[in-house]
Amino acid sequence: MYFRYILRRLGQTVIVLFFISILAFALIRIAPGNPARMMLPDTATEEQVHAKEMEMGLDKPLYIQYIKYIGGVLRGDLGTSASYQTSVGSIIADRFPATLLLTAATILVSLLISIPIGIIAGIRQGSMVDFLAMLFALIGQSMSTVWLAVMMIYIFSVKLNLLPALGMGGIKYLILPAITLGYPLAAQVTRMGRSGMIDVLREDYITATLAKGIPESRVYTKYAFKNALIPIVTVVGLQVGYFLGGAVVVETIFSWSGVGQLANQAVGNRDYALVQSLLLVIAAGFALVNLIVDLINAKIDPRITLE
């Protein structure tokens, strides 16, 4: 059952990837102007443009051009960046680990905080703990990222001089951007954990489990939690997708040289080859994360595979 579901989702993902590649391919060709010129720096000569036109096969039918393009992508050849004058593949490969690291740290920090808080708040609905948890969530969901980032830098770097504000290095450099990026997510997961637990604890099957003499602590952490987890996995997956696409604002403010900052620069420099490939990589990453989320959820909740 689960195996068939995996196959089905894999098939769907391949189709999604296909459409993403068409989109990235079309980006350059639909935009006004000469596609070959767009792939080159502004300073390129007529000969260079002509050579590029030949290379892209612009005189050939579109499907041939697509096959050429996708063949290049599959071989890891994403073209040359106009602003960096090196291969797009190596630029992205250079930046991706930083974004991955920031994403991992962000998810870790926010889940470690929000899941226990949300669960406890749900179990103790109406208590002081619940009130504080809701306050924590409310603040996190209403604060803008820019403002939060500025406050973090002001308090922890400028005033207390505890943590570096900008750049990359050890763990120290990771803390402020991870918290800034993670707080809104933590707020959301806290709320979902809480409301999920409240709903689940009302269910007959939880009363039935308690009636079997299973200790409350185990009923909550094992038998109820698994039900409350499903929507959380979905939301966290969505966020991972966004973060992998680069958290543009946070990466830019904290001078974190990740994919988000790169995308920001690429658009600013009108570096089409880079933009095209970033679109492709980010969207593909999103589709893959989605696939993983669905597979995890299907593992948690067997009803999903039975539809």
Partner 1 sequence: MEEKLLEIKNLRVRFVTERATADALNGVNLTIRKGESLGLVGESGAGKTTTALASLKLLPRGGQMLDGEIYFKGKDVMRMSKRELLDMRGHRISMIFQNPLTSLNPVFTVGEQIGMVLRQHKGLNKKQADEEAMRLLETVGIAGYRLNDYPNQFSGGMRQRVGIAAGIACNPELLIADEPTTALDVTIQAQILELMKRLQKEYSTSLLMITHNLGIISELCEKVAVMYAGRIIEYGTVREVFSDPRHPYTRGLLGALPKLEGDRDRLTAIPGTVANAQHLPEGCRFHPRCEHCTEECKKQQPEMVQVKEEHFVECFRGGKFDG
- Residue 221 near partner 1 by CB under 8 A: no
Q: In the numeric block, which tokens belong to residue 63? A: 């499907």
Of 32, 33, 170, 215, which one interacts with partner 1 (CB under 8 A)?
A: 215
Ranges within 171-210 binding partner 1 (CB under 8 A): 201-210
CB atoms within 10 A of CB 277: 22
- Residue 217 near partner 1 by CB under 8 A: no
Which of 75, 202 has the CB closer to partner 1? Answer: 202
Q: In the numeric block, which tokens belong to residue 166? A: 């900008």
Contact 224, 64 (CB under 8 A): no
Q: How far apart are CA 245 and CA 237, in angstroms?
A: 13
Report, in Å, the least distance between residue 224 CB and partner 1. Answer: 9
Q: Residue 295 contacts by C-beta under 8 Å, 6 or more apart in sequence?
A: 5, 6, 9
- Residue 128 near partner 1 by CB under 8 A: no
- Residue 2 near partner 1 by CB under 8 A: no
Q: Which of 235, 236, 198, 220 is nearest to 121 (CA)?
A: 198
Q: How far apart are CA 16 and CA 22, in angstroms?
A: 10
- Residue 303 near partner 1 by CB under 8 A: yes
- Residue 55 near partner 1 by CB under 8 A: no
- Residue 3 near partner 1 by CB under 8 A: no
Of 227, 239, 276, 290, which one interacts with partner 1 (CB under 8 A)?
A: 227
Please give the single-letter amino acid code of residue 221.
Answer: T
- Residue 61 near partner 1 by CB under 8 A: no
Part in contact with partner 1 (CB under 8 A); list of ranges 22-30, 164-172, 211-219, 238-246: 211-219
- Residue 146 near partner 1 by CB under 8 A: no
Which of 53, 301 has the CB closer to partner 1? Answer: 301
Contact 56, 68 (CB under 8 A): yes
Of 33, 61, 169, 213, which one interacts with partner 1 (CB under 8 A)?
A: 213
Q: Residue 212 contacts by C-beta under 8 Å, 6 or more apart in sequence?
A: none
Q: In the numeric block, which tokens belong to residue 149? A: 């980032």
- Residue 220 near partner 1 by CB under 8 A: no
- Residue 8 near partner 1 by CB under 8 A: no
Part in contact with partner 1 (CB under 8 A); list of ranges 80-88, 149-157, 282-290, 296-304: 296-304
Which of 145, 209 has the CB closer to partner 1? Answer: 209
Q: How far apart are CA 162 and CA 214, in angstroms?
A: 47
Which of 1, 30 has the CB closer to partner 1? Answer: 1
Q: Residue 244 contacts by C-beta under 8 Å, 6 or more apart in sequence?
A: 99, 100, 103, 259, 282, 285, 286, 289
* Three-point CA angle 212, 215, 220, nearest 5°: 100
Contact 176, 163 (CB under 8 A): yes
- Residue 211 near partner 1 by CB under 8 A: yes
Which of 109, 200 has the CB closer to partner 1? Answer: 200
Q: Please report, as ranges, the residues that interact with partner 1 according to CB under 8 A.
A: 201-215, 223, 226-227, 300-303, 306
